[in-house]
């Protein structure tokens, strides 16, 4: 997802950040320049205390920050853990001030130490982030150590690092896009519940007709948009596995014959539209299969190495060849193809694979052309704020997924999620819509990853915080089949066992309530508890006269918490009580106001309550 940015940064190293300075904030130290560096392929740095102040770093290499480590020959093909070290001097510290270290971008994840003390960790390569270091910073020489975990592709501290003096957190969080507005999307996009389908795995037949038969069920489940993973013929040269990845496209204008015919596809779309469901398809235009006809007809449309040979996007994606968007004819071809599927088959948009690897100016141009045909949905498998300005309606919120993983799996406090959502609010254009999920085809099954209870509670949160929820086929049954992209597997659709019955009922009630709740689709989100010292995550969603309370215990032990009673809620109190509708219980009940200050939840218990 990061190649295009990688190439730009190798050629034009970044010298400034999007951090906006105010009159109450000033630069203290700029940390760009020479750092010491060492790779850690055996992951022994933590055990050997590489972050400590007195550690011997005489064998570390000197490199420049910002920049990816791949620009150095010795590290050009390295993926994994690496460590950075730098010392710097602070001449004077004002005890009345607050100080933060601000990172404009680290690829992918990192941990940070200052003077041997752990400062914090961050996940996700696309976000700016900061840590308050007021209590760690000292007058004189300071030492900073950063452990970077690169999951693949380019890695490193690829944007500037600064020490700043500040008075308000908001000053650190506001990025350049905070002052801009996102594109305006149709209501059906804002209201969407998206269901991702892998046609090969969705049924034993693995075709369009089997999907079409289930459209009424998906409507009943509360789905309003289906996303079909790539439907095109799959490449055979350098194919991975028996069937090959659907993301290795052999012909952009054809349908995979295993899935059916053009008429089958048209029938599926017609049935979906008759049931009020939109259809988007996967768009894979960063790369092609090695036997795509474009390689023979237009070899100049591909990225080549110094020997003139076409190359894959990275060392792992060996089954695909990398496209080069410097070529204007390639751009014309891709836009023509995108228009073809909308005009001929009446699809409703695209989910754009690795959208960050394709230049944003191409996406902007393409969106202009597609908007002339009909209102569509454009979903970017990316998370850049600028994608919201013109080209895309939705971007992936990997940040929320990572936060939920840290809370449910690692025992972090729910305030981690508050911090992520707050940062998102300040970094993205106003009105940006984010895709929320706790599972997709790139991630493990939620039940396997979060546990059965964790899968439900994380799904509740992703469907009720601001944004658009996504569900992956089989997730509604609590399926645990980790579906391979390269083989034939079939998801399990079974409500005969206890888990299948429980999960299906949960999703049906959740999505159908959301469909009828303006508070969840349009309302503001307000924190509903007074402290962050327990494992409860609770918030109100409000729109006009509708109020919804979401409250979840994100731990495996019982808790008691205190709910806020603000001025809006006070208006709902009658004779010391509030009347709620319990969505999952399907019944009304009355709660005494006194119970708000002593609200008890069992392990992983959650509530979705409505006041109407």
CB 463 within 8 A of CB 436: yes
147-151, 203-207, 294-298: segment of lowest average pLDDT: 147-151
- Give 448's contacts (C-beta < 8 A, 6+ positions apart): 480, 482
Rounded to whole angstroms, the Cα distance separating 125 from 150 reads: 9
Domain spans, the chain: 3-173, 187-516, 521-611
Determine the distance from the C-alpha atom of residue 559 to the mean position of all C-alpha atoms in its chain, rounded to a whole number. 30
| Per-residue model confidence as pLDDT tens digits over 527-575 | 888 665 578 999 999 999 899 999 999 988 898 888 887 676 777 888 8
Instruction: Return the CATH fold of 3-173.
Output: Jelly Rolls (2.60.120)
pLDDT attached to residue 3: 38
Q: Do domains 3-173 and 521-611 have the same CATH topology?
A: no
Class of domain 187-516: alpha beta
Longest dimension (CA), the chain: 81
Q: Does the 521-611 domain belong in CATH 2.60.40.1180?
A: yes
Q: What is the gyration radius of the CA atoms in the chain, in angstroms?
A: 25
253-257, 496-500, 564-568, 588-592: segment of lowest average pLDDT: 564-568
Beta strands in 229-325 (DSSP E): 278-283, 287-289, 320-322
| Per-residue model confidence as pLDDT tens digits over 21-47 | 343 457 789 999 999 999 999 999 999
> What is the pLDDT averaged over residues 141-162?
92
For residues 370-390, b (16+ Cβ closer than 10 Å) or e, as one string? beeeeebbbbbbbbbbbbbbb
Global confidence as pTM: 0.84
Position 594 confidence tier, pLDDT thresholds 50, 70, 90: confident
């Amino acid at each position: 997802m990061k190649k295009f940015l990688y190439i730009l940064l190798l050629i034009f190293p970044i010298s400034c950040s999007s951090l906006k300075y105010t009159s109450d904030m000033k630069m203290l130290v700029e940390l760009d320049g020479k750092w010491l560096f060492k790779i850690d392929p055996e992951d022994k740095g933590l055990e050997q205390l590489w972050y400590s102040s007195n550690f011997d770093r005489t064998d570390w290499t000197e490199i420049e920050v910002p920049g990816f480590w791949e620009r150095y020959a010795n590290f050009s093909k390295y993926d994994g853990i690496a460590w950075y070290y730098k010392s710097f001097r602070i001449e004077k510290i004002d005890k009345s001030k607050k100080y933060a270290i601000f990172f404009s971008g680290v690829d992918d994840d990192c941990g940070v130490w200052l003077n041997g003390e752990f400062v914090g960790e961050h996940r996700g390569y696309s976000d700016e982030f900061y840590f308050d270091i007021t209590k760690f910073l000292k007058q004189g020489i300071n030492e900073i150590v950063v452990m970077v975990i690169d999951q693949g592709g380019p890695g490193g501290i690829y944007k500037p690092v600064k020490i700043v003096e500040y008075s308000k957190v908001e000053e650190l969080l506001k990025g350049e896009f905070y002052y801009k507005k996102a594109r305006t999307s149709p209501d059906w996009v804002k209201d969407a519940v998206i269901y991702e389908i892998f046609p090969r795995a969705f049924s034993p037949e693995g075709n369009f007709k089997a999907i079409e038969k289930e459209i009424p069920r998906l409507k009943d489940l509360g789905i309003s948009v289906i996303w079909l993973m790539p439907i095109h013929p799959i490449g055979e040269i350098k194919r991975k596995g028996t069937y090959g990845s659907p993301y290795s496209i052999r012909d952009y204008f054809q349908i995979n014959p295993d899935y059916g015919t053009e008429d089958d596809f048209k029938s599926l779309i017609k049935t979906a539209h008759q049931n009020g469901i939109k259809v988007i398809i996967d768009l894979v235009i960063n790369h092609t299969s090695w036997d795509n006809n474009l390689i023979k007809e237009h070899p100049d449309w591909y990225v080549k190495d110094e020997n003139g040979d076409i190359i894959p996007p990275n060392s792992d994606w060996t089954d695909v060849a990398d496209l080069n968007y410097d070529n204007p004819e390639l751009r014309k071809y891709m836009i023509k193809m995108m228009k073809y599927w909308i005009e001929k088959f009446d699809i409703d948009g695209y989910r754009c694979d690795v959208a960050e690897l394709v230049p944003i100016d191409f996406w902007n141009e393409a969106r202009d052309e597609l908007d002339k045909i009909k209102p569509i949905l454009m979903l970017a498998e990316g998370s850049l704020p600028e994608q919201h300005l013109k080209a895309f309606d939705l971007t992936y919120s990997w940040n929320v997924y990572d936060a939920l993983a840290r809370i449910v799996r690692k025992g972090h406090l729910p305030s981690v999620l508050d911090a992520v959502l707050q940062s998102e609010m300040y970094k993205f254009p106003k009105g940006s819509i984010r895709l929320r999920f706790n599972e997709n085809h790139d991630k493990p099954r939620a039940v396997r990853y979060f546990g059965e209870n964790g899968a439900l509670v994380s799904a509740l949160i992703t469907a009720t915080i601001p944004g658009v929820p996504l569900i992956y086929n089989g997730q509604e049954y609590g399926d645990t089949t980790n579906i391979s992209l390269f083989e034939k597997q079939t998801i399990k659709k079974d409500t005969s066992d206890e888990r299948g019955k429980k999960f299906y009922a949960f999703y049906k009630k959740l999505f159908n309530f959301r469909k009828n709740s303006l508070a969840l689709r349009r309302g503001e989100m307000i924190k509903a508890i007074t402290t962050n010292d327990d494992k409860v995550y609770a918030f109100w969603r409000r729109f006009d006269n509708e109020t919804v309370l979401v409250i979840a215990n994100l731990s495996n032990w019982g808790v008691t918490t205190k709910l806020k009673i603000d001025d809006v809620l006070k208006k709902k109190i009658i004779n010391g009580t509030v009347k709620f509708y319990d969505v999952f219980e399907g019944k009304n009940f009355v709660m005494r106001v006194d119970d708000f200050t002593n609200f008890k939840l069992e392990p992983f218990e959650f509530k979705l309550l409505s006041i109407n």
